[in-house]
Amino acid sequence: MNQNPSFGTIVKERRNGLGLTQTELARRVGCAPVTIRKIEYDALRPSVQIAEHLAMALNIPEAEHLAFVRLARREPEVSPIPTPPPEPEEIGQEDLSGRALKGFQLGERIGAGGYGAVYRAVQATVERDVAIKIILPKYANQPEFIRRFEAEAQLVAQLEHPHIVPLYDYWREPSVAYLVMRFLRGGSLDDRLKDGPLAVEMLLPVIEQICAGLHAAHRAGVIHRDIKPANILLDEDGNAYLADFGIAKNLVGANGGGHTTGEMVIGSPAYISPEQIMAEPVKPQTDIYSLGVMLYELLTGPKPFKGPTPIAYIQQHLNEQLPLLSAANNGDAAKGKQAIPTPLDIVIGRATAKNPGERYPDILSLLADIRRAMQPDSTVADVTDLRSDTTTPAHIAAMIDLPDMENPYKGLRAFGEADAADFFGRDTLVQELLIRLAKKATLRHLRQVWV
C-alpha cells in the first residue's frame, strides 16, 4: 500500500471510489459521520476497532489490513510553529497559504478577484474547514466599502436557509477585513459547465434548491442582483447553494424601495437585467431574469448572448430576445446534444421578458412552470394554457404553428342556428330526447318542474 498519502486521504479516496457519502460510510463502520469527517481530514486518529471496520467497509485487501491499521494508529507529525499573521501590505500581493490568522490556519488560495482573495482554512477550535474572504487594504480603509462589507455580513447572517452559504464569523482590523464562511468542496456551477451543459435529469434538483434559497431571500426583502453560475456553489453530493450576496440590496432597510439611482450599474454583464442597466428599481423579477439567462446556459452550455464586451452585453439585454433552446441545440441528439423539453423555451421566454411586469410574479411560480415543462409528456400548451396572457409572444409564435380557424367555443355567449355545424356525434341521443319531449306526459312533468 502506498504510504505517501495520509491515512485520511486514503479513506476519502476509497470512499469516493465506492460512491459512498460520509454518512453511509459511518453507518457501515458504526460511528458518527463527524468521526469520518475528522478522520478524512487527519484531525482524528481512529481506534484499532474503527480502523479494522474501515478496512472491511472500504474493501481493503485482507493482506493489507495490518498495514492499514498501523497507518491509522501512526503518531501524527508535530506541526511546525505557525508563521505570523499577514501584514496588510502582503494581502493580495502574494499567496498567504500556510499562514496563521486568529485561530485559523490558511490553506490553499481558492479564488482571487478585484476586492480580495478567498482561502480554504482550518478552524482549529472545532476542527472544520472554512472559507475565508480577505478584503484588500485599499478597500478595507474606505468607509463606504466597509459599510457595504458590514451590510453583507449582517445580511447573510440573517438569511438562514439550507441552500444559502452560511456565514460563521466576520471582523475588521486596521487595513483589512475578513468573512468566514462554510467551505464547499464541490466547486461552482461555473466549474461544472466546463464539462458541458447539465443533463436535463440533473437540472431540476439544482434549480429547485436555487429557487428555494432565492425564495427565502426574497421573502426577507433581499434581492441578490448577481445570479450566475459562479455564485452557485456545490457540496460533495452536488447540492447547490447561493453565495456572494456582496452586492445584494436589502429592500426592507433604511434605504428601502430598491432604487439604484445615482449608483453604478451593479451586476455581471452576461446576466444583468434591463432594469439594472437602466438603474431602475430592482424587485424579485430582477433575480428571475438572471436565473432565466443562467437556465439557458445550464441547458445548452454557451451563454445566450455572445457579448463579448460589457457594452455589447448591455445592448443585447436591452434589445434582443434570448435565442430558442432548439436553435442552440440544433435538435440533433445524435451529435451528443441532449434533447431539451420544448416547453422550457416558453418558461425562459417569460422569465427573461424585457418588461419586469411580464415576468413571473415570484420565484415559486417560475419553479412550478419549470417542473411542469420538464414532465416527460409535457407540451407547450401545458405551460401556456394557464398563463398565456403574460407569456412572451415571440417564443410562442416561434414554436406553435396553428392554422387559421374560427374558435367554436363561445364561452357564455349564446349559440344560434348558425352554430349547428358545431354539434355532431350524438344524433341517436338527440332523436331519443325529441321523442320523449313529444310525449304529453313528459311535457306536463316539465311544466310542473319549471313552475
Active-site residue identified among 226, 244, 287, 369: 226
> b/e for 105-129, b at 16 or more Cβ within 10 A?
bbbeeeeeeebbbbbbbbbeeeebb
Rg (CA), the chain: 30
E strands in 53-205? 100-101, 104-112, 116-123, 128-135, 167-173, 176-182
Q: Yes or no: say if 240 and 336 are a contact pair by the CB < 8 Å rule.
A: no
- Residue type, position 73, single letter: R
Whole-angstrom distance, CA of residue 38 vs CA of residue 40 = 5
Q: Yes or no: say if 121 and 130 are a contact pair by the CB < 8 Å rule.
A: yes
Whole-angstrom distance, CA of residue 404 vs CA of residue 424 = 22
Phi-psi region of 10 (alpha: psi -120 to 50; beta: other; left: phi over 0): alpha
Does the active-site annotation cover 237? no
Whole-angstrom distance, CA of residue 251 vs CA of residue 233 = 25
CB atoms within 10 A of CB 405: 6
Nearest one of 207, 250, 248, 199 to 229, comparing CA atoms? 207
> And the C-alpha cell for 441?
306526459
CB atoms within 10 A of CB 385: 10
Among all residues, which ones are annotated catalytic? 226
